[in-house]
Amino acid sequence: MNGTSEGKQKDRRPAKDDEAVVKAPPLPHITLGYHPLRLLVQRLKQDTFNRLGELIDEIQEGTEKDRKLKIINFMMERRQQWTKVLVLVMYAKKAQDLPGLIDLSSYFWHFKLTTDRFLSEMFRIRSDFVTAKVPNADLKTALEVLSKGSSSVPKTYGFLPPPPLSAAEILRTVRKINTLLAFRFSLHEIPPVHFRSYKIRSGKATFTVENEFEVDLSIGQEDHTSQLYLVDFRFLFTPTMDLEPLQRFRSAIINQGNTILLNKQLPGIYDFLHNLALTNKISVLAGQAGLLQEITGGRWAEAINCTMFKRTLRINYWIMSRADSKSWIDVGVLAPTEKLPSRLGVRWFRENKEVTDVEVPLDVANLSTERLLKSVIALHTRHILTNLHQSLSSLAIFPPHTLKLKIDELDSSNSVLSIQLTATRELSIAIEPITGKFVLKKPSTIISNAEASINSSSSISIYNLRDMIGNLRHRTLREEIVDRASKLDWECPPLRIIKPDDVKKWFGQDHKPRYIIYLRRKNWYKNWILAITMGDNGEQAWIVDLREVGGSHEIANVKIIALKTEKFGFSSLSHLEMVASATISNYVNCKELDDRNIQYTLKQSKGGESGIRRAHICIRTASIMRTDASWARDSLTLNYSNLTSNGEIRLVVQGGAKEPMTQLKMEDMSSSDSDIFFHPPSGSFGMNFVTKVGVGVIDQVIQRLQSIERLISFVSVIRQKNLSCQHVELGKIVFVYTTSPIRSATIQFSGEQLELIFPEGSPHVRVSTFLNDLLKKGGLTQVISQLKLTTSLLVALDEIEKKSPEGIVNITTRGLEWYRLYYPNTRNHIIDIRAFRRRSELVWFIKDGNIVRPQGQQDQPINPHDPAAYSPLRPFYVDDSTPGIEGLRSGSAVKAEMIGEALNRVHVILCPEYAQVLAAKSGG
């Protein structure tokens, strides 16, 4: 049998010549992306040539080492490139094999892709066949219905029609069913607590669960133990899942409900439909959330994130402003309690913490995910703004009248916290409901930067937000102060090099400043500035004493200034300038007084019309005066007066003498210094000082006090000597010491400087140096005495010197009371003129220096016959009996008023030529 079958198979084989030859199709050749090798070689060659030219230009400069390094780097880099080309050339030698391999690989890849697509399409067709099990369409009947509106084919399914019921029978049957249901639920099967609300009508019992569902139940038999049947059910909330198009799903629910009624009766059907309603609600909310999340260009697009965990819907909101999305709501089924069944509820997590003290409103009858989100966001916005309001209220810089909070429980976009930053600028803080970003209204550059800084933070606490708002307030106020100060010609020195340790040491103990503004007036001394510190406790003004050490500034001392207002308007800055200038002036002057160990007290005066409380310095006069201060009152007062137009400070020193200064007549002071004023009847005087702020005036006060003391004492002496003053001012007195002719002298004094000046041609120019020494050591009284004593003598000496021939006499001044006349042509005669007190009267003694007395015989009488005792002046000494001239043994004693005449007589004797001059003068 095997052989037979094999023979048959052989008979069925086609002949060899008749066999069809099937050849494989040629592989598609890939040409896309191919580039000729020669193009690569040409480009590399051109690039090498270009870089070589650049290298030649570069090695023209630099050291030999740099040139070699550049050449080596160039050669190594080019070698790598040409090595790669060499490898490609070696591969190119086998170019006839590589294209086939590439084509084969491409073919396999396309074949696999086609196979995958075919299998996927087959599976799709198979899955579509599941829903394609429908009867064939009755096109003939359909065409008839579409054309005529009705069908002539009778509707019959092969069943015998039931006998028709009359209306009475139907009514009787329905009533009977109603009665049976009423008895059953009243006597035999008590409905559970959640089904206590029901109605019986139309042959069915309708049980209602508020905001969830209604279910219609009926019976098929009269026995009270028979099964209840589920006729229909309806959801009592909107929107709801539409079950009408899904008839199979609805039928499945009804069938499942009938099964549950058979096994678990009413409690079972309640649990089934209750859970179905809750699940449906969560599904509706999830569907709405998905639409809000997925709508392109919608309000909530990319602003929320929705996820489902079993029957819990989680919605993360504000994910755009907070990357970690720390706030969300969970919508799910809450566990039942003793009084309440399981129900739909919301759990709110705010900043990773569940909020249990706030009830989130959820409308379970009218479901709306967007309305739920808005309610939660409104609560979250209220929480943030309320806490921010409370936190800002704790700062001294935000008193109650600067904060105003408005809350809208429904729409968070209407919730606003208004903050009065400065007197002219207000800030409104709101939160954008969808994104959760802070919106700072009434924008400016500073506010816009602050808003960007706040929103750029993925996590920000209330305290951080409070600090940012505080910083915004400080920066806004700083901008206003600097702007207004610049308009008032204040300078803002760049003092960033002040050491932070100094700032913390001097300003950070109690005030803890966040920002510091440094201001300086142009006419202030360079080491003084005004600092305005801004912190959580408010603003405070300081005067700062700086010292420059090694290129940086160190704070030597600070002084706090009481602010009249914190508005920092133009008037406030002007007021601040006055207070700061006065404080700096008092500080500097008090420091100078301390350095000099001068006793003083700093007293606070009452505010005047301007309301400025100014401190004044009371200086003890005896402590500041270096000389006797018995003439002055016990104290001086140094007061701030005002500021000049160019910003310098004007100070007033007030004092007085113990006695009236009646000797200072007002007409005498008509040309006096305008910075000093006197009131002679009361003895009061005052001094005005105009100086830079920061420069002390104690030295000037001392100098002027000395000048006033000297002025009063000098004028008193002049009056006592019965002399007259031509001109009186502080630091200068011109008085007349002879009236015929008028001869005057000028006393100039300033501080330690004291000088007696005589006009040109005055006879006392000869002795001005001696008189100045006497003025400094002995006082003006002795000077005036010397002026009276020497006037006649010095006039005579000037006359002799001017009218005598040259070389006849040489006059030498040895002192105020010693003069010498030397006559070289008259036996070298020497005449000494000296003042001595004789018989309680100061007289001049003319001594003949040519009378030589032997040793030991100075007290013996002169022998007139002794040749050594001979002198041409002997007749003048012995024989002259002129009143006021008394001859002595070796000279003459002459009264002051007669010294001129006596001197002329001596000179005539020793110089006969002078006698001719006098005779010619008298004859003329």
DSSP 881-893: --TTEEE-SSEEE
Q: What is the mean pLDDT of residues 863-873?
A: 54
673 is a domain residue: no
Pick the residue with more confidence: 652 or 877?
Answer: 652
CA–CA gap between residue 400 and residue 385 (Å, rounded): 15
Task: Give the pLDDT confidence of 837-846 residue by residue, as tens digits.
Answer: 877 778 888 8
Q: How far are the Cα atoms of 396, 414, 478, 480, 517 from residue 475, in angstroms, in the given order? A: 17, 27, 5, 9, 10
610 is a domain residue: no
Q: In the chain, what percentage of residues exceed pLDDT 70?
A: 83
Lowest mean pLDDT among 32-46, 290-304, 389-403: 290-304
Pick the residue with more confidence: 21 or 144?
Answer: 144
DSSP state of 660: -
* Residue 399 CB partners (closer than 8 Å, separation 6+): none
pLDDT at 817: 87
> Strands of 426-431's sheet, edge to edge?
403-406, 416-420, 426-431, 438-441
CA–CA gap between residue 144 and residue 707 (Å, rounded): 138
Task: Give the pLDDT confidence of 824-839 residue by residue, as tens digits.
Answer: 877 678 888 888 887 7
* Residue 287 CB partners (closer than 8 Å, separation 6+): none
Which has the closest alpha carbon to 446: 462, 427, 465?
Answer: 427
522 is a domain residue: no
Quote the strand ranges of 550-634, DSSP E: 552-561, 600-604, 615-620
241 burial via Cβ count (<10 Å: 0-12, 13-18, 19+): middle
125 is a domain residue: no
Residue type, 368: S
CA–CA gap between residue 73 and residue 54 (Å, rounded): 13
Q: Are residues 180 and 79 in the same domain?
A: no
814 is a domain residue: yes
* Residue 109 CB partners (closer than 8 Å, separation 6+): none
Quote the strand ranges of 327-401, DSSP E: 328-334, 343-350, 353-355
Question: Of the candidates 394, 429, 461, which is a domain's last residue?
Answer: 461
824 is a domain residue: yes
CA–CA gap between residue 569 and residue 571 (Å, rounded): 5
CA–CA gap between residue 449 and residue 429 (Å, rounded): 14
Q: In the chain, what percentage of residues exceed pLDDT 90?
A: 14
Lowest mean pLDDT among 152-161, 322-331, 632-641, 817-826: 152-161
pLDDT at 244: 57
Q: Buried b / exposed e across 100-139, counting CB within 10 Å, b at 16+?
A: eeeeeeeeeeeeeeeeeeeeeeeeeeeeeeeeeeeeeeee
Task: Give the pLDDT confidence of 156-208 residue by residue, as tens digits.
Answer: 556 677 788 888 988 999 999 999 999 999 888 888 888 888 999 989 999 99
Query: Which domain covers residue 887, as residue numbers?
Result: 804-851+869-920
Q: Which residues are 618's β-sheet partners? A: 601, 637
Q: Read off the pLDDT band of 496 (50, 70, 90).
A: low
Q: How far are the Cα atoms of 5, 127, 150, 154 from residue 145, in angstroms, in the given order? A: 64, 33, 5, 13
Question: Given a cut of 70, is residue 869 above it in pLDDT?
Answer: no
CA–CA gap between residue 845 and residue 828 (Å, rounded): 20
Question: Radius of gyration of the chain from Cα atoms?
Answer: 63
CA–CA gap between residue 13 and residue 16 (Å, rounded): 9
Question: Given a cut of 60, is residue 527 above it in pLDDT?
Answer: yes
Long-range contact list for 24-29, CB < 8 A, 24+ apart?
Answer: 27/100, 27/103, 27/104, 27/107, 28/103, 28/106, 28/107, 29/99, 29/103
Question: Given a cut of 60, is residue 120 above it in pLDDT?
Answer: yes
CA–CA gap between residue 46 and residue 56 (Å, rounded): 16
Q: How many domains in the chain?
A: 4
Question: Of the candidates 228, 256, 273, which is a domain's last residue?
Answer: 273
> Strands of 615-620's sheet, edge to edge?
600-604, 615-620, 635-643, 649-656, 684-691, 676-679
SS (H, E, C) 45-107: HHHHHHHHHHHHHHCCCCCHHHHHHHHHHHHHHHHHHHHHHHHHHHHHCCCCCHHHHHHHHHH
pLDDT at 390: 92
Task: Give the pLDDT confidence of 733-768 residue by residue, as tens digits.
Answer: 899 988 888 899 999 887 678 899 999 888 998 899
Task: Give the pLDDT confidence of 209-265 residue by residue, as tens digits.
Answer: 999 999 999 998 888 888 899 998 888 988 876 655 556 677 888 889 999 998 898
Q: Read off the pLDDT band of 807 (50, 70, 90).
A: confident
Contact between 771 and 790 under an 8 Å Cβ cutoff? The reply is: no
| 3 state SS of 777 | helix
pLDDT at 508: 67
Question: Of the candidates 422, 440, 461, which is a domain's last residue?
Answer: 461
User: Pairing between strand 416-420 and 426-431?
Assistant: antiparallel
Q: Are residues 183 and 78 in the same domain?
A: no
222 is a domain residue: yes
Q: What is the mean pLDDT of residues 668-678?
A: 57
Compute how many other C-beta atoms are within 10 angstroms of the C-beta atom of residue 478.
Answer: 19
| 3 state SS of 849 | coil
pLDDT at 16: 46
46 is a domain residue: yes
Compute how many other C-beta atoms are within 10 angstroms of the C-beta atom of residue 595.
Answer: 10
Q: How far are the Cα atoms of 58, 60, 73, 504, 822 from residue 53, in angstroms, in the given order? A: 9, 12, 15, 62, 104
Contact between 312 and 331 under an 8 Å Cβ cutoff? The reply is: yes
Task: Give the pLDDT confidence of 562-614 residue by residue, as tens digits.
Answer: 765 566 777 778 888 888 888 888 888 888 888 888 888 888 766 544 445 56
Q: What is the mean pLDDT of residues 34-46?
A: 86
CA–CA gap between residue 548 and residue 551 (Å, rounded): 6
Question: Given a cut of 70, is residue 535 above it in pLDDT?
Answer: yes
CA–CA gap between residue 137 and residue 149 (Å, rounded): 18
CA–CA gap between residue 349 and residue 352 (Å, rounded): 6
CA–CA gap between residue 453 and residue 641 (Å, rounded): 49
Question: Given a cut of 70, is residue 20 above it in pLDDT?
Answer: no
Pick the residue with more confidence: 70 or 526?
Answer: 70
Q: How far are the Cα atoms of 164, 171, 172, 220, 301 from residue 167, in angstroms, in the given order? A: 10, 6, 8, 20, 59
CA–CA gap between residue 107 and residue 901 (Å, rounded): 153
Chain centre to alpha carbon of residue 55: 53
Q: Read off the pLDDT band of 509 (50, 70, 90).
A: low
Task: Give the pLDDT confidence of 339-389 residue by residue, as tens digits.
Answer: 888 889 999 998 888 998 888 888 888 999 889 999 999 999 999 999 999
Q: Write out the two tokens for 398.
A: 């935000």
Q: Write out the two tokens for 878.
A: 């012995």
pLDDT at 372: 92
Q: Write out the two tokens for 301.
A: 């697009």
Mean pLDDT (the chain) is 81
